Every structure is written in C-alpha cells, then in structure tokens.
Structure 1
Amino acid sequence: MGKVNVCLKRSYIMVISVIATLSALMLAVTLFTHGRFSRVDDETETMLPGLQLMYSISIITLILAIIGVYGACKEKKWALIMFAVGMILGTLFLIASDIQALAQRPKVAEHLKMHYMMLQNNASGITDDLRDVHIKFQCCGLDQGYLDWGYDIPESCLCTEESTNPCVAAPRNSSLFEHMIDDQPIMIYKESCLPYFIVHVMRVIDATIGIILGVILLWISSVVLCIFILCRLSKKEDVPVVVYSSEAKAGNYTALTDTAEHT
C-alpha cells in the first residue's frame, strides 16, 4: 500500500469539511422551515415533498462526508470507495435536477399567471397572499392594474411616502372614497403586480440553479481528490531487490584466508 501525500489528504479533508458544514446548515434550515409551516396544514402538505427531498439530501450527504473523513484519516479503501460512489450518484442527481429546472423555466411565467388570475377571480375579496404582493412590490392588481378590482380597490394598493413606483389617482367611484369627506385625491399604485412577481420568481430560480451548480462543482472536486487518494493507496511501494553476489561473498573471507596462511 502506497503512502498518501499530506497536502492531498488535507485538501480532501478540507473540501469534505465544507460539504459537511453545508449539509448541516441545510438540515437546520429544513428543520426550521418544517417547524414554521407545520402550523398550517395546507402549506405543510404542499411543501412536504420538497422538505422530504431536502431531508434526504442533507442527511445522506452528511453521512457520506463522515465516512469520507474516516476513510482519509484511517486510509480505509472501502470507506473512500463508498464516499466516491455516493457522491457520484448525488452529483448525477443534481445535474439532472439542474437540467430539469432549466427546461421548466420558460413555463414558470405562464403557470404563475394562471395561478394568480384564478386566485383573484375565485376570491370574494383580497387574500393575504395578494395583499402581501401589493405591499412588497408596490403595485395593484395582477393583469390590468387597479382595474382588476373594479369598485373594491383594496387599501394595500394605496401609495405610501416611501413608494418608488409610479402612482395615479384612484377612481372617484371606488370603495376608497366611501369614508372620505374632502375632495383630496387618493393615490394608488399604477402598475400591475404580475410582471414584478414573475421577475422576482425568475431571479430566485436563477439563484437556485447557480447554487446547485456550485454544489455540483464542490462535489466533483471531492470525488476527484478521493480518486487520487485511492490511486495512491493502490500503488505498491518500490522494495529494493536483494541480489546475491558470489564475488562479494568471496571477498569477505579473503582477508581471513590470507592471514591464516601467513601465520
């Protein structure tokens, strides 16, 4: 069994330590998210498949990292082989997920538009989700702006002093003027929310794809280092060959023979 270079072993352990830290953080975030949304049954059922996937990835990766560190420290081939095989399978899964996310990206905008239009049409009034969208993106309505609400324009469409998006005067025949005494105009957000929301979701998707790509590169580097260590362990050390020489043996006894003759 050959000796592993110290720098190679330290580099491998350093990369695995980063992977283990990220896996532990991912597990902590998953536990926090699960606990936060466990109070709402509908949201928990919707997010359960994603949470289960995050649990599986974080726990399996953490176990593989521990096995990989053990294999490097003790120079155990079986542990290093198990780590390499597991990380290769995980890398292939992440690559497939990244490709699928890129393929589904153009369809996300249409899906979001249909979802929120149905939500707006089926709701008797403004929902908490739509209210949060109005406030966060400083907009009103989804498709045609405040016209989507007709007479019942929600108060979440009102412009504030910190508003940066353009505002317009609300129609006089809207519900916002029911309790108004003076004739001062009421300013509401002019633009619809759907374009802002789609851009925001696309940025989140792009950031997620970038993070997955970074994780893939990190995992590939750990597999490459692991394979190098396995190659070093499989390499046999050069043992010096012992050669029998009759001349050398004769030379050792020549001096003794000559001395005996002279005596």
Structure 2
Amino acid sequence: MAGVSGCIKYSMFIFNFLFWLCGILILAIAIWIRVSKDDHEIISSGDSGTNSYVAVNILIAVGAIIMILGFLGCCGAMKESRCMLLLFFIGLLLILLLQVAAGILGAAFKSESDRILNETLYENVKLLSATDDNGKAFQKVLAEFQEEFKCCGLVSGAADWGNNFQQNYKSCECSKVPDSSCTSYDGKYVYKQPCISFIKDLVAKHIIIVIGIAFGLAVVEILGLVFSMVLYCQIGNK
C-alpha cells in the first residue's frame, strides 16, 4: 500500500499555515473597513438608512472561519487525521460556494444597491437643516468629511445646510484666495463640489477591496481543496 507523501503532507501544513495568516489579514482589513468613519455614518444615518456593510460583515465572519479551518487543516496534515481533513474540505467547499452565491447576488442587485445608496444620501440632506440631536450628530460627521475631502453639502452644495449654513460653513470654506473649485454662497466662499461623489467613490473603493479579497481567496481555497483531498486519499491508501 502506498504511504503518505511527505511532500504533500508538509506542503499541506505550510499551505494551511499561510491560509490561517490569510484569515487574520482578511479579518483585519474587514474590521478596518467596518470601523472606518469616512463614509459609514453618512450613508447609514437618516430615516432610510441602510446597512451598507453587509459584505464587510460577511468577510469578518469568513476571516474568522478561515482561521479556524487553517488550524484544523494544519492539525489534520500533521496528525494524518482523515476526519480533520474531511471537515476542512467540507468547510472550505461551503465557504467557496457561499462566495460564488454572494458574488452572483451582488452582481444581480448592483443597480438596486446603487438606488438605495442614492435614496439614503438624498434623504439624509434633511438632517443638515435639522436642529435635533440626531441632526447635529450627522452635521458633525459631514463637517469632518467636508474638511477632509474639500467638498460642501451632501448632494446640492452649500444650500443643503439651510439655516445651519452660518454655523457650519467653516468646514467647507475655501482658502483666502478662492479658485475655480470655489463659489460664493451667503457671503462666504465655499467649495463648489458636493460630497456625494466623494462618498460614492469611497463606497466603490471599499467594494473593490472586498471583491479583490474574494477573488484571491477563491484561488487559495481551490488549492486547499486539492491539497486536502490528495492527502485524504493517500492516508486512506496507507
């Protein structure tokens, strides 16, 4: 009977160690995107606010599961445990199938997601002219965003601020020498560009990061399926 190939066995161990490190990296990146305040509070506030980070939340769960599977694969390879290797194979296959399903659903509902994002942003304009605590909290977040990205207002420019403009113009005020990117509004020189385009760009950047991780992970997962099944069969033929 053929024995277990030492090359396959240790390749499987090294692969799963790297797989475990990938899980840590995915978890770290997903958490970084999740806690980023650049656009999260702006697109999740308001009456029609929606959770735009479902994909990121899924990645957090996937990263944690991959760490567990990587550990399971390492132990299965070193102990030559068919049970551990089978569990590793099944778990990895389920993750791969879920990724494919999530990708198909994401592509199918892309236009719907864009529509919901637009509706949320336009709905949140009301918060800029509000005077309640919810409105003030949102105004503080947008003021910080305006200062960082050199924009003013949410969708229509400085006019979005309504009666609150004079109290918040500082965050979108142009330099002492205004240029073509500035405009005059209510006696102040402010940035002409509304923040909606910058917010959409940030959301798109986060989506690209998620897609890139998913594709790279799919390649690693397929290799893991092959390695684990080869080692599983070799152990069975001992």
Quick check: TM above 0.5? yes
CA shift at 1:225, angstroms?
Answer: 0.9
Equivalent residue, structure 1, for 2:142: 130
Look up the SS of the partner of 1:220 in the other structure: helix
**Counterpart in 2 of 1:175?**
none
1:66 and 1:92 mapped to 2: Cα distance?
Answer: 21
The 8 Å contact of residues 26 and 213 in structure 2, kept in 1 or not, is answered as no
Give the drift of 1:201.
0.9
Q: Which runs of 5+ in 2 are unaligned?
A: 38-43, 46-50
Distance 2:52 2:5 in 1: 46
1:158 aligns with 2:173: yes
Q: Secondary structure at the match of 2:190?
A: strand
Q: Is the 8 A contact 1:3 1:233 kept in 2?
A: yes
State the Cα distance separating 1:88 from its structure 2 match.
0.6
Aligned mates of 1:141, 1:23 — CA distance in 2: 39
**2:208 paired with 1:206:** yes
Q: TM-score, normalised by structure 2?
A: 0.74
Matched with 2:190 is 188
Aligned length: 217
Cα pair distance change 1:140/1:219, threshold 3 Å: same
Is 1:139–1:165's contact at 8 Å kept on the other side of the alignment?
no
Percentage of matched positions with identical amino acids? 24
Q: 1:72 offset after TM fit, Å?
A: 1.1
Instruction: Report whether the alignment pairs 1:98 with 2:103.
Output: yes
**Residues 194-253 of structure 1: CA distance to partner in whole angstroms, max 9, x if unpaired?**
1221122112112211111111211111111111112323346xxxxxxxxxxxxxxxxx
Please give the alpha-carbon distance, in whole angstroms, between the structure 2 residues aligned to 1:109 and 1:196: 14
Looking at structure 2, the residues matched to 165 and 225 of structure 1 have their Cα atoms a distance apart, in angstroms, of: 59
CA distance in 2 between counterparts of 1:209 and 1:84 reads: 23
Distance apart, 1:87 and its partner CA: 0.8
The TM-score normalised by the length of structure 1 is: 0.68
Give the number of the structure whose alpha-carbon radius of gyration is greater. 1
| Structure 1, unpaired ranges of 5+ | 173-185, 237-263
